[in-house]
Chain A
Amino acid sequence: MEENIKLEKENCPTETDQDQLENEERALSVFASEKNEDLTALTLVLIVTFVVLLFTKWLA
């Protein structure tokens, strides 16, 4: 069994896998989870919207 795995590794270069991993790693977010990312995005947008409303509508 171990020999088979060893042979497989020798025959099939893992470069593509490494590239794949690298790509996926690069695409990762700085956030701990998708939910955190979405909630932060929504919160920031609501803050932006409030500030824009404040200066372009309510105080204008």
Chain B
Amino acid sequence: MANSDVGRPSNIPLMTISGLLLLYGVFVMTGLFTPLLKSLHVHKQIDLMEVLCFTAAGLGFATALLRQARMNKPMTKRDIYVLETIPGILFIMLLAMGIRWFLEPVVGIVSVQLVPLLGFKIHKVLNLNYVVLGIIIGIIITNTWGIPKFAASGVKTARFVLKMGVILLGARYSFAELAKLGMVSVWMIGFFVLGTVFFVLFLGNIFRQPKSMTGVLSAGMGVCGVSATVACAPVVRARCSEMAYTIGTILGFGILCMFAFPTIGKIVGMNPTQFGAWAGTGILNSAQVAAACLAFNAVDIKTLKVGEIFNITRVLFLPVIVLVLASWYGRRNGAKLSFKEVVVDKFPIFILGFLLLFAMSSVGLFSPPGHYKGKYLDFSYNQRTEVTPEELTVLENAQQTGIPGLDASEEAAFADLIRQHQIAGDFNDRDNKEAFDATARKRMAGLESILARAKGREIVISGEVKSALTHAVKQVHKKSKTIVTLTDAMIWFFAYGLIGLGMQITRKSLAQAGGWPLVMGAISGVTKAALSFIVVMYFVRDVVLK
């Protein structure tokens, strides 16, 4: 129900916001801000800035005019649902722009400057990206000045926009990634996802926590952190403070894991595949999985790849978890739900949207079907995929001089790159795409291995050779423009939604939730890490990926 008690606040804040957006758009268009934007590394988004600023400013001025015409008149449905929400929408948009274009890059730059002092990038360790910054800014606003009256209605669109973000999340993954995992790995991931969910529900029962809190925490701890929390919150009617606690618990636990996992992995002598599987199962946040994998082994790319695949596979269990929680929540409320009621009536439509986008992505509507987050490999013969003539000369000279320490596959890949000027399969196999791509993948792995070993100082290659090899590998890595754009849209929706989410978290509501979510999160997280450690050590060998 929309709030009809907000009244009709003044038009001045809306005009001010619209004016600011217009002014910013004009400054960007005239190039006045270009040096500043370049120093913040956001100059590539200048086109987007102009479009967003001018569209939002136009919408703001038009709304202000319409509102002015309707001042002192009784509220109609159009006033409540449209005209009165737009000022708040523009207010959050302005904040989201500030975070994405200024605060996030500034935090990154300051963090890099602090590396000599701290020895690490603090924004990476504390995960200070737009997700965390958005929630923090929202919390600060609501607990200091309070939500401005003119924005009160618009803030209520946050949950709706977050749902749009979750639907778009489906576009980033494809079924091909699942198919790459063996059945053992899929069972293992499924067991830990569902096991953690049930374990947290059990803990919630023991600690007598509200079922909305327990439900949302179980999804966050079981699946994949922030997106699972957002996706499952409406199913268990979780409050914003409960979502914030869950996100905080997940990120906090992840920070501990980022340091503990690589150290433990090295002490017990895990191989790269085992560590990737363990980190991908035990750590929740994708960025933290990547950081832990790189900290464990920056040389063998397999660690990161296995970690990432284990991590994203969990996202695909999201619809199953939604079903489980819908059923559990219904039963806990005293209602006996039939299968039809859970699957048809209680299943959120926006999760169906997630599945729809996932299906569209899997059939190759956005990118070749085998893509991962829009990235795919293209080994087809193409002049744009070749190394430059100068790079070719550098590689030929290096071959003549010889690179000591290369193994047979690396040497063969190196020789073929010089022969074909690009990473490719055998020319005779060009009509058999599967065989052609398989050979090309092997050759690419050989070149990547040379680069990784050079980075790890196992072999020595000149800077020019390194640059030529890096270029050759980069040329076959393509990115789908469609998925990149959809991902960008998803990030904006999440940024918007999380600021709104933060604005609904008061100190009192956090105090009401108490410290129990943190305790439950810590117990379930440690249990999952310990059990997955045992499984990985005893059951996972090198053959995780097909």
Using a CB–CB distance below 8 Å, which chain A residues touch chain B? 16, 19-20, 23-32, 34-35, 37-42, 44-45, 48-49, 52-53, 56-57, 60
Contacts and interface: CB of A to CB of B under 8 A. Distances in A.
Contacts of A23: 239-241, 504, 506, 508-509
A39 B352 CA distance: 10
A49 B482 CA distance: 9
Contacts of B3: 25, 28
B366 A37 contact: no
B163 interface: yes
Q: Could you say which of A19, A28, A41, A42 has the most chain B C-beta atoms within 10 Å of its C-beta?
A: A41
Contact of B163 (A28, A30, A32, A38): A38
B78 to A, nearest CB: 12
Contacts of A16: 512
Contacts of B164: 41, 44-45, 48
B481 interface: yes
B168 A30 contact: no
Given A29-B156, A34-B234, 12 more contacts: A19-B508, A19-B509, A23-B239, A23-B509, A26-B155, A28-B3, A32-B2, A38-B353, A41-B163, A41-B350, A42-B353, A53-B482
7 contacts: A19-B506, A26-B155, A27-B240, A28-B1, A28-B3, A42-B352, A53-B365
A49 to B, nearest CB: 7
Interface string B225-250: 00000000010000111000000000
B160 A41 contact: yes
A20 B212 CA distance: 14
A57 B85 contact: no
A45 B162 CA distance: 11
B159 A29 contact: yes
A11 B512 CA distance: 20
Nearest to B365: A53
A34 B351 CA distance: 13
Given A26-B504, A52-B489, A53-B365, A45 B357 contact: yes
